[in-house]
Structure 1
Amino acid sequence: MELPKEDIGKFVALGGTFRSHLDEKDRTYRWPDLWIVPSEGVINEQETIKIPERVEKVKPGSEITAVIGEEIYEADETEAWDAIKGFTISNDVTASGDWPGWSDPDHGMITGVGYKLLPTFSPIFSEYVEKSEEADYNNLSVEVRVDGDITVSGSTAQMAFSIPEMVSFASNICELHENDVIALGDPGNPTNFLDNADSVTCKIEGIGELTNPIERV
């Protein structure tokens, strides 16, 4: 099923959703972080990720991404699951150097969400697969390759929250409509940065494969 970037409504992103990522950051989450990706951040496969010279230590993040099929607000988990019409894959590109991280230099984490909102930093595949049974998403392999080398290898079994729980959470913050998308987090712990790479491929078993060239600008 096709969902090009022009047809996407809100691009909602969740962070802190994988236990492995939480271990990487040494943080405890009662619920996910949430932010809204600006339209200029969204690109499709084969479009170029443009990394500004002023940022560094740019990480990829292969994320299973829910596609909403009907309007929901303040949904419970059953209503949230029923509102999903399919899944696609997105890449949570995140710079992790000093700027523009948290304004407090003594903050325990350097990376702030400002690093995730730069133009072209949220690639998403322009097709989605229709939803199947919830249990089918409990242990899907999640992978990132940078210039052909594996830099992330994990599984949706590492999620700290269920998919219905995360979509319900998002719906309790903002109204969700058909063709809104919700990126549900990634395993974290990449072994390579994108700073000097030529391409990155994110793959999720049964969902898709998203490849983008990379350019320093």
Structure 2
Amino acid sequence: MVRFVSYRSGSALRAGAVLRAADGDRLLDLGADPLVEILSDAGRTDAARAAVAAADASALPALASVRLEAPVRPGTILCLGYNYRGHVPDGVDPTADDPATPDVFVKTRNTLAGPADPVVVPAVADDVDYEGELAVVIGRRAKDVTPQQALRHVAGYTILNDVSDRSWQRRQSQWALGKCFDSFAPLGPWIVTPDDVGDPQDLLVEVVRDGVVTVSQSTATTIFPVADIVSYLSQVMTLEPGDVVSTGTPQKLPEAQAAHRPLRPGDTVTVRIARIGELTTTFIGGTA
């Protein structure tokens, strides 16, 4: 599996690939072009994979020696609301309450944060929550594509924590203010391409909060699969390379829901997704 990253070298942003070595992850530099330009071109992606295959991981710098940034800087971040079916009693149709269409909202560009960035709990927000989600990175322009065509437009998959403040979210019929505080969309730490991920509807999504598993559910239980989501959105807008579509969060486990409290400075949340990796975010205090 090749993990593609964006990282900072001095003041410059560069693309790279993460290789495993006996003593930990190492970094192969892939140049100064934005990562999305590599992943949106099949030839360049193949060349990057060939460079990874030929590299001597032991001779490369440690991944920990650099600062990872969000792997792409999307022009648009689109997210889904309810998209995972909950548990139902035996004999009850699990699809009975499925909505007819996806519930889509936007997170603005100020929300984007890298995998090394803390998320600020604003002084005016008193009900901050997390949502661990599979995120889709667009690689080829998509407009009016069918579900059968849609996955051809996907560059890869990453992880997004859709941080929200529920109190601001409840203030209005639209969710924008509760979803769009600065740094409320940690993204990363890398992108894994579709050939390494395989079926996006067969991935275990888990969230760990302060050492306790609070979410554990497969993408097999989503109402709208990735192909349908990309197709649906492309009927309205042209999806451009680097755009991110976050596919919704599973419900918290019952015991986690019962014990839930808003996020506070000092808390950590790790979102891990099978065959992709994990994204750990630390929450810090904001200014009054």
* TM-score normalised according to structure 2 size: 0.65
Identify which of 78, 87, 101 aligns with 1:12: 78
Q: Which SS does the other structure have where 1:145 is aligned?
A: strand
1:2-38 CA-partner distances (Å, limit 9, x unpaired): 25436333222122211129xxxxx752111222221
Q: Does residue 195 in structure 1 map to residue 263 in structure 2? A: yes
Q: Percent identity?
A: 27
Equivalents in 2 of 1:84, 1:177: separation in Å?
Answer: 10
- The one of 116, 122, 125 equivalent to 2:185 is 122
Shift in alpha-carbon separation, 1:50–1:172, aligned structure 2, 3 A: same
Instruction: Indicate the SS of the match to 1:166.
Output: helix
Describe the shift of the 1:54–1:66 C-alpha distance in structure 2 as closer, same or farther (beyond 3 A): same
Inter-partner Cα distance in structure 1 for 2:165 and 2:251: 13
Alignment gaps of 5+ in structure 1: 22-26, 105-110
In 2: Cα distance, 1:13 partner to 1:162 partner: 13
**1:72 and 2:142 matched:** yes
CA contact (8 A) 1:195 1:216 kept: no
Structure 1 partner of 2:5:
2
Q: Give 3-state SS (helix, strand or coil) of 1:137's partner.
A: coil
Rg bigger for which structure? Answer: 2
Deviations 1:117-174 (A, max 9, x none): 1111111004100103896222311111111211211111210111100111111222
> What is the alpha-carbon distance in structure 2 between the residues aligned to residue 181 and residue 103 of structure 1?
25
The alignment of Structure 1 onto Structure 2 pairs a total of residues equal to: 206
* 2:111 equivalent among 18, 21, 41: 41
1:160 aligns with 2:223: yes
1:60·1:144 contact (CA, 8 Å) conserved in 2? no
Q: What SS does structure 2 have at the residue aligned with 1:128?
A: strand
Q: Hey, what's the Cα distance between the residues in 1 that align with 2:178 and 2:274?
A: 27
Q: 1:70-112: CA deviations, max 9, x gaps?
A: 1111211122111012111110112223x342437xxxxxx83
**Conserved? CA contact 1:73–1:175, under 8 Å:** yes
State the secondary structure of the residue aligned to 1:182: strand
Taking only aligned residues, the RMSD between alpha carbons, in angstroms, comes to: 2.4
Structure 2: distance between partners of 1:134 and 1:87: 8
In 2, Cα distance between equivalents of 1:53 and 1:169: 37
Assess, with a 3 A threshold, how the Cα gap between structure 1 residues 177 and 215 changes in structure 2: closer, same or farther.
same
Unaligned ranges ≥5, structure 2: 7-68, 88-96
Matches of 1:39 and 1:93, distance apart in 2: 14
Corresponding residue of 1:181: 244
Deviation at 1:194, TM superposition (A): 4.6
2:124 is the counterpart of 1:54: yes
Q: Output the CA distance in 1 between the equivalents of 2:191 and 2:198.
A: 18
Where does residue 207 of structure 2 map in the other structure?
144
Runs (4+) off by over 6 Å: none
Q: Give the TM-score normalised by the residue count of structure 1.
A: 0.85
- The CA deviation at 1:183 is 0.5
Alpha-carbon separation, structure 1, partners of 2:197 and 2:207: 24
Give the deviation of 1:216 after TM superposition: 2.5
Residue in structure 2 matched with residue 93 of structure 1 by the alignment: 163
Change (3 A) 1:161 1:100: closer
